[in-house]
A and B are shown apart, each in its own frame.
Chain A
Amino acid sequence: MDLLLEIAQQVINGLVIGGIYTLMALGMTMIFGILDQTNFAHGELYMLGAYAAFFFSMVLGIPYLVSVCLAILVGVLLGLMYEWLIFRPVRGKDPLNAVIASLGASIFIWNAALLVFGGAPREIPTPFLGEKVNLLGVSLNVQRLLALAVTIGIILALYWWIGKSRLGRAMRATAQNREVAALMGIKIGRVAELVFATGGALAALGGALVGPIFLLQPSMGLLAVGKAFIVVIVGGMGSVLGAIYTGFGLGVLESLTVGFLSSAYRDVISFAILILVLWVRPQGLFGRTGERGG
């Protein structure tokens, strides 16, 4: 019985982490699938989202949940800046240009954050952090549950939005054939703004949610973006569903590895999966060869 409880505990922890990977990976996979661009600076949106939540709640004293909403707004603005300053100027050129531009932006933002915020880790104490609830014998931290619930809610809403709304259809059409999408009256620049605003919002939300669980550091984006990248590739570049399943799956797998083997294997496992998938199914678990979308 103890073993079962331990497993349940690790699975929940894994879903929390996996949800964060998913929030990051969704934005990156949308940017890749719809705009054919790779954003290596996506981790900085996550990092700045966490610091924004810290700023609003700790410096300005705004309640935590309101601070999370404000951090999302900051994420939207940052996403738009990414589009206008980094990605629009290199769109339609060699894809390597976007890689180099975003790598440069990542290094710049990371160092600027180090200068402004300092290297010392910070925490966001929230009222939920100390609280625990007992569910069928499993003791659960309320902040983690909150993070998980919000993540799942947002992901479901996003999935519905992409699948059923007019703008979601326009984004998928753009992913499949940009020229014909333009013929239908879709403004590609607007779609790009929408994609980056969404990506920024999701990443910032991720940062604001885990801020209280882990410590904030300017380098936190670098670690997260690596994992999110693995999720994007394993899930299938451009696949929204693939990012969701892979993100949560990887989080759970990592958590079980840490719980039952050793934390030394945490990063080994994701790289092992990456290599295995690239070997057996290079288009990713949910990737299509040829056409894209979904």
Chain B
Amino acid sequence: MLRLKGVDAYYGQLQILKGVDLEVRPGEIVTLLGANGAGKTTTLKTIVGLLHPRAGEIVFKDKVINRLAPDETVRLGLSLVPEGRQVFPALTVFENLMVGAFTQRNKAEIERSLAFVYELFPRLTERKNQLAGTLSGGEQQMLAIGRALMSDPEVFLLDEPSLGLSPLLVEKVFATIQAINRLDKTILLVEQNAYQALQIAHRGYVLETGRIVLSGSAASLLQNEHIKKAYLGQ
């Protein structure tokens, strides 16, 4: 469904991604693990077109999308929940969700997505007329996820959704991701919380200084000695 082949990405002269190979198949939850600064966010930015690869290929639904801009990749069915939530602070909860539905022109479909998001996060319903900037961190994360769902994506990309949340909320976020996956949405999940990510993922990749150093089924990665030491603190 989504495939990266030997992708190199740079910020100016600085090479961040070095030949990244990665595949996400329909219906899967794939997690991309790595330490701070490994290049996880850069990988997601390159996929959605905020950054363009200097070498290699990104293929989505049999189409090379290397040069597409973010407003084009979202129309193809990719949707990113950015790192650090980044809701629109001076828009209300409802307005944030409607901006998420910007690419949708069918009123009935927008209504359906809206009802779905409100059902998934009843808390957002209660606060729909509140400015997003006044929400708690956990509520903002729900809003960021809800907003990304409003474009009715096929592949859902999440950048460290559990960052800065209480253990209880982290549970809730991971449960939500699983629930979304059950609705036939394919998921690429970037996490530092390796243990929990591997619990819900089918497969995983490990990124270290811009290179994929390990990949495999979630179960095999949970047993891997290197992962145990470096990411699971065992």
Partners in one complex: yes
User: Taking beta carbons and an 8 Å cutoff, which residues of A are in contact with B?
Assistant: 166, 169-170, 172-173, 176-177, 179-188, 288, 291-294
> Which of B48, B100, B102 has the most C-beta atoms of chain A within 10 angstroms of its own C-beta?
B102
Residues of B contacting A294 in the complex (Cβ-Cβ under 8 angstroms): 90
Determine whether the beta carbon of A170 is less than 8 Å from that of B99.
Answer: yes
Q: Known contacts being A185-B103, A186-B102, is A180 close to B74, with CB within 8 Å?
A: no
The 7 tightest CB contacts between A and B, nearest first, are A293-B90, A185-B103, A182-B70, A185-B74, A176-B88, A173-B99, A185-B102
Told that A176-B91, A292-B90 touch, could you supply 11 new A-B pairs with CB distance under 8 A?
A166-B98, A173-B91, A179-B70, A179-B82, A180-B86, A181-B88, A181-B99, A182-B50, A182-B69, A182-B70, A184-B74
Minimum CB–CB distance for B96 against chain A, Å: 8
Determine whether the beta carbon of A180 is less than 8 Å from that of B133.
Answer: no
Minimum CB–CB distance for B12 against chain A, Å: 14
Chain A, interface SS category: helix
Q: What are 25 A-B pairs at a CB distance below 8 A?
A: A172-B90, A173-B91, A176-B90, A177-B86, A179-B70, A180-B82, A182-B50, A182-B70, A183-B74, A183-B79, A183-B82, A184-B71, A184-B147, A185-B70, A185-B74, A185-B75, A185-B103, A186-B71, A187-B71, A188-B71, A291-B90, A292-B90, A293-B88, A293-B90, A293-B91
Question: Please, how many angstroms separate the alpha-carbon atoms of A249 and B101 in the complex?
Answer: 38
Closest to B105 in A: A166
Minimum CB–CB distance for B200 against chain A, Å: 24
Question: Please, how many angstroms separate the alpha-carbon atoms of A180 and B91 in the complex?
Answer: 13
Question: Please, how many angstroms separate the alpha-carbon atoms of A72 and B151 in the complex?
Answer: 36
Residues of B contacting A292 in the complex (Cβ-Cβ under 8 angstroms): 90
Closest to B86 in A: A180
Q: Which of B50, B71, B99 contacts A169 (CB 8 A)?
A: B99
Closest to A188 in B: B71
Produce 1/0 per residue, B74-90, CB < 8 A to A.
Answer: 11000110100010111
Question: Please, how many angstroms separate the alpha-carbon atoms of A187 and B70 in the complex?
Answer: 9
Residues of A contacting B74 in the complex (Cβ-Cβ under 8 angstroms): 183-185
Minimum CB–CB distance for A40 against chain B, Å: 27
Produce 1/0 per residue, B22-42, CB < 8 A to A.
Answer: 000000000000000000000
Determine whether the beta carbon of A185 is less than 8 Å from that of B71.
Answer: yes
Closest to B150 in A: A184
Q: Known contacts being A173-B99, A184-B147, is A179 close to B50, with CB within 8 Å?
A: yes
Closest to A172 in B: B91
Question: Please, how many angstroms separate the alpha-carbon atoms of A169 and B97 in the complex?
Answer: 11
Closest to B85 in A: A180
Produce 1/0 per residue, B102-133, CB < 8 A to A.
Answer: 11000000000000000000000000000001
Please tell me if B154 contacts chain A, counting CB pairs below 8 Å: no
Q: Which of B69, B88, B133 contacts A173 (CB 8 A)?
A: B88
Residues of B contacting A184 in the complex (Cβ-Cβ under 8 angstroms): 71, 74, 99-100, 102-103, 147, 151
Please tell me if B95 contacts chain A, counting CB pairs below 8 Å: yes
Minimum CB–CB distance for B140 against chain A, Å: 12
Determine whether the beta carbon of B147 is less than 8 Å from that of A291.
Answer: no
Question: Please, how many angstroms separate the alpha-carbon atoms of A133 and B75 in the complex?
Answer: 57
Q: Known contacts being A183-B48, A294-B90, is A170 close to B82, with CB within 8 Å?
A: no
Q: Which of A166, A182, A291 contacts B133 (CB 8 A)?
A: A291
Q: Known contacts being A182-B71, A183-B50, is A176 close to B98, with CB within 8 Å?
A: no
Closest to B49 in A: A182
Produce 1/0 per residue, B131-143, CB < 8 A to A.
Answer: 0010000000000
Residues of B contacting A183 in the complex (Cβ-Cβ under 8 angstroms): 48, 50, 70, 74, 79-80, 82
Residues of B contacting A291 in the complex (Cβ-Cβ under 8 angstroms): 89-90, 133
Minimum CB–CB distance for B100 against chain A, Å: 6
Residues of A contacting B103 in the complex (Cβ-Cβ under 8 angstroms): 184-185
Question: Please, how many angstroms separate the alpha-carbon atoms of A131 and B88 in the complex?
Answer: 50
Residues of B contacting A172 in the complex (Cβ-Cβ under 8 angstroms): 88, 90-91, 95
Residues of A contacting B71 in the complex (Cβ-Cβ under 8 angstroms): 182, 184-188
Minimum CB–CB distance for B61 against chain A, Å: 17
Residues of B contacting A185 in the complex (Cβ-Cβ under 8 angstroms): 70-71, 74-75, 102-103, 151
